[in-house]
Amino acid sequence: MNTPKITFIGAGSTIFVKNILGDVFHKPALKHAQIALMDIDETRLAESQIVVSKLMESAGAEGTITCHLDQKEALQGADFVVVAFQIGGYEPCTVTDFEVCKRHGLEQTIADTLGPGGIMRSLRTIPHLWQICEDMTEICPDATMLNYVNPMAMNTWAMYAKYPNIKQVGLCHSVQGTAEELARDLEIDYRDLRFTCAGINHMAYYLTLEKKTEQGEYLDIYPDLLAAFESGKAPKPGIHHAGRCVNLVRYEMFKKLGYFVTESSEHFSEYTPYFIKPNRPDLIERYKVPLDEYPKRCVEQIAAWKHDLEDFKNADRIEVKESHEYASIIMNAIWAGVPSVIYGNVKNDGLIDNLPQGCCVEVACLVDANGIQPTKVGQLPSHLAALMQTNVNVQTLLTEAILTENRDRIYHAAMLDPHTAAVLGIDEIYALVDDLIAAHEGWLPAWVHQ
């Protein structure tokens, strides 16, 4: 066939579908793509079909759109499988993650990557990702999976551990998004930045960060960034989400570590033991840590979506600018043979020497007609690797828990979480996990409840 088929699992996430497929339709080689939208929610699926149809027409794309409630049907003939869903949604599962932890004295900000919230999200998500892998193995074994589902590291690790045959990459927007943000902070053109970055998802660091001069040379901008922070001029655009989040946590970590981390302050504050502590409101205020940030965003996004949906239904055309997501770049590189470099989450197969082999790492990847080819980093600065290891410990134990159906490892993963261990005693951690498992009845694999 001379046109690719793109299957979107979780197509009820209409805004995300709009952004990803908007990017696809900007690529001449992909304008004739067959689009298969799949979701378990028939109403949301129909809403996405309306948006994608208008988006396709506005972009002059001449492909086809089909909608599916059956996953296997949607995967027939797929070349690319985009995965973007949230098992349990905002209600009941996200609400449960926050409310149960709060009752036990553990405050969270986002709770989708690490800690008890990330652990529970992974337990309820991985079985569904495995089912996609199983169906792909049967139906479209040569397709490439582009996975956007959090917690990225644990989900990706569990998939390649059980289904090494599946061609997959975990995708996030924190590397390119943060680079753009830093360019704004320093009032320089993002296109003049050059950087190398490596680590784990949500805790990768810019190992080099340079700007192009008028003479065509590249200069290290870390001194400029540190000077701007200490002078009070940065972060300039750091206030967002209705003014709740100020990007101070990772600037403080930059000052201490000498390298800037890719993930936002609200995320990073709960990956470490330094910023959210009982009876320390001074830390919350000093670093502007937005507790309960994710539930607040969910409420805002649900309200905004109702308004946006009416606008989309009434619009004759829907046009979107290209985003900084990697999905369309990867598809174009593989399908049309246009070489590109992206940052992806992949198996640490000799890529980073001082992180555990086999864990999930985020590194630069060359993408072309040969597929996704991760690049070797070598040694990370030892203090960065040590900080990452505290998060890899949790990922290791949770992945082992679900691969071996070992309930004890769930508790061990929570025990090793840096933020949780800084707040709760060991018996309190066990009690918290017990309550979370009980509250997730019906959402977790059966062995967890045995």
- Whether the CB-CB separation of 37 and 8 falls below 8 Å is answered with yes
In a domain, 71, yes or no: no
Q: Is residue 203 within a helix (H) or strand (E), and if so which, with residue range?
A: strand 203-212
Q: Which helix (H) or strand (E) holds 123?
A: helix 115-139
Task: Quickly tell me which residue has 């209409």 as its tokens.
Answer: 14
The answer to whether the CB of 150 falls within 8 A of the CB of 170 is: no
Residue 161 neighbours by CB under 8 Å, 6+ apart: 358, 399, 403
Residue 216 belongs to a domain: yes
The span from the CA of 23 to the CA of 138, in Å, is: 29
State the Cα–Cα distance between residues 12 and 424, nearest whole angstrom. 38
pLDDT on residue 368: 98
Decide if 19 contacts 173 (C-beta within 8 A). no
The model's pTM is 0.95
**Domain-located, residue 364:** yes
What are the φ and ψ backbone dihedral angles of 147, each rounded to 5 degrees?
-100, 125
With tokens 């001194």, the residue in question is: 223
- Going by their DSSP bridges, the two strands 360-368 and 371-374 should be labelled as antiparallel
| 221: its two tokens | 């901008």
Q: What pLDDT sits at residue 247? A: 86
pLDDT at 69: 98
Question: How many other C-beta atoms can be found within 10 angstroms of the C-beta atom of residue 389?
Answer: 15
- Phi/psi at 69 (5° precision): -95, -15
- Quote the pLDDT of residue 320: 86
Task: Give me the sign of the Cα torsion angle 93, 247, 418, 113.
Answer: positive
Domain-located, residue 1: no
Residues making up the chain, counted from first to last: 450
How many structural domains compose the chain? 1
The residue from 128, 173, 241, 383 that is catalytic is 173
pLDDT value for 231: 82
Residue 124 tokens, joined:
């309820």
Q: With respect to residue 381, please indicate whether it lies within any of the assigned structural domains.
A: yes
Two tokens, residue 161: 């551990």
Confirm whether 26 is a catalytic residue. no
Q: Is residue 221 part of a domain?
A: yes
Domain extent at residue 403: 86-291+325-450
Annotated binding residue at 150? yes
Residue 172 in marked binding region: yes
Q: Which residues of the chain have pLDDT under 50?
A: 237-244
CA distances from 78 to 10, 47, 72, 118, 204 (A): 15, 22, 10, 30, 32
Both tokens of residue 418? 């840096």
Residue 202 annotated as lining a ligand binding site = yes
Residue 239 sits in a domain whose CATH number is 3.90.1820.10
Q: How far apart are CA 107 and CA 111, in angstroms?
A: 9
* Alpha helices in 5-70, H assignment, sequence order: 14-25, 42-59
Q: CA nearest 291: which of 267, 313, 274?
A: 267
| Structural domain contains residue 23 | no
Residue keyed to tokens 């409420």: 299
The CA–CA distances, whole Å, from 392 to 133, 255, 257, 399, 436 equal 23, 23, 19, 10, 22
Query: What CA–CA distance (Å, rounded) separates 34 from 427?
Result: 53
Query: Considering the domain boundaries, does residue 174 fall inside one?
Result: yes
Token pair of 49 as six digits: 């079909």
